[in-house]
């Protein structure tokens, strides 16, 4: 019994000792000047030796506060160029968006979905070629659900005029709240699929354009894009500066744009017996 008590006491001492041996994650950071200019080298000096240091400059894409962001209230920008010809020109082409289309590209499921006509937001050709639609922000048509999907469609309907419509180009971009633009699709990557409510005329889909020529009456022909998840976001990233095997006394960085940046050094010491985490913030003023 005495031996058991002795070993238990020894184990408790060892565990306490190991826990006390965990390096502190705290890091003191300072810079020499209160103001810098674009292109200057900013030297961050350190006091402390945590096992790991990750640096977030505070610039777009490297903001510590956004390191865990998966979704954002992004803008959805759409623009295209159109051309209409043949016969008396009529506005028999419309644009639609849907948040609840289930992705089954047939007449039954297109009819089940809720489609919003957004044609009035765009400029269409009235006979000239390569007519720009204007860049339209469709953010207000995106569901508030983070994982919502948006489909974009063109619909040709028979109005008695047998026009020929061509969509020359299209661009779909999302823009983050910080102003970072990401291209979601162009004409060749829109994932277009045709859905024909009548069998007479059909959309011709190529990587360069969309085309339909009305010839028969009672046409109702759709071409629908792939879904776009507008609110998905790429988390901001930091730069790993050191791990347990290295030691750093300073870090040099050059800011390429003016602004006031919140530089953050996220630090940690992670051992089998315990762990510590900390972060140190330094404000850097950068002038043009």
| The model's pTM | 0.78
Please report the pLDDT score of residue 287 as a whole number: 96
Supply the pLDDT for residue 171.
Answer: 98
Encode pLDDT of 212-260 as tens digits: 987 777 788 999 999 999 999 989 999 999 988 888 999 999 999 999 9
220 vs 210: CA distance, rounded Å:
16
Q: What is the pLDDT of residue 19?
A: 46
Q: What does pLDDT average to over the chain?
A: 89
pLDDT tens digits for range 77-127: 999 999 999 877 778 899 999 999 999 999 999 999 999 999 999 999 999
Task: Look at residue 5 in the predicted model and tell me its pLDDT.
Answer: 39
Q: Check residue 160 and give left, alpha or beta (phi > 0: left; psi -120 to 50: alpha).
A: left
Model confidence at 202, pLDDT cuts 50, 70, 90, reads: confident
| Angstrom distance (rounded) from CA 46 to CA 241 | 12
Q: What is the pLDDT of residue 15?
A: 42
Between 191 and 196, the higher pLDDT residue: 191
- Three-state DSSP at 195 gives strand
Beta carbons of 64 and 238 less than 8 angstroms apart: yes
Question: Which pLDDT belongs to residue 6?
Answer: 37
State the pLDDT confidence band at 191, using cuts at 50, 70 and 90. Answer: very high
pLDDT recorded at residue 199: 67
For residue 201, pLDDT over 80 is answered with: no
pLDDT band (50, 70, 90) for residue 20: low
Q: How far is CA 104 from CA 73, 185, 195, 216, 227, in A?
A: 27, 20, 10, 26, 11
Instruction: Kindly give the residue spans of alpha helices, DSSP state H, lying in 89-158.
Output: 107-112
How confident is the model at residue 91, as a pLDDT?
A: 84
Residues of the chain with pLDDT > 90, as a percent, come to 72
The proportion of the chain whose per-residue pLDDT surpasses 70, expressed as a percent, equals: 92
Contact 154, 210 (CB under 8 A): yes
What's the rounded Cα separation, in Å, for the pair 189 and 206?
A: 10
């Amino acid at each position: 019994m005495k031996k058991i008590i002795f070993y238990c006491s020894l184990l408790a001492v060892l565990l306490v000792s190991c826990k006390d041996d965990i390096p502190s994650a705290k890091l003191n950071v300072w810079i020499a000047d209160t103001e810098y200019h674009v292109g200057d080298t900013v030297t961050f000096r350190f006091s402390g030796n945590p096992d790991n240091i990750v640096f977030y400059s505070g610039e777009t894409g490297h903001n510590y506060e956004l390191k865990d962001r998966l979704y954002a209230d992004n803008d959805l920008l759409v623009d295209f160029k159109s051309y209409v010809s043949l016969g008396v020109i009529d506005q028999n082409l419309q644009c639609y968006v849907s948040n609840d289309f289930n992705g089954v590209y047939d007449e039954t499921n297109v009819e089940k979905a809720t489609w919003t006509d957004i044609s009035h937001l765009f400029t269409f050709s009235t006979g000239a070629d390569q007519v720009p639609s204007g860049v339209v922000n469709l953010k207000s048509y995106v569901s508030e659900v983070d994982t919502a999907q948006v489909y974009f469609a063109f619909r040709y309907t028979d109005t008695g005029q047998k026009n020929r419509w061509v969509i020359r180009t299209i661009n779909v971009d999302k823009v983050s709240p910080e102003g970072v633009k990401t291209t979601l699709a162009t004409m060749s990557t829109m994932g277009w699929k045709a859905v024909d409510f009548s069998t007479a005329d059909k959309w011709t889909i190529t990587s360069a354009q969309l085309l339909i020529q009305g010839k028969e009456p009672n046409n109702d022909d759709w071409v629908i894009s792939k879904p776009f998840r507008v609110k998905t976001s790429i988390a901001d990233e930091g730069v790993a500066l050191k791990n347990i095997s290295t030691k750093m006394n300073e870090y040099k960085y050059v800011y390429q744009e003016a602004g006031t940046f919140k530089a953050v050094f996220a630090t940690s010491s992670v051992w089998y017996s315990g762990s510590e985490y900390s972060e140190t913030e330094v404000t850097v003023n950068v002038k043009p």
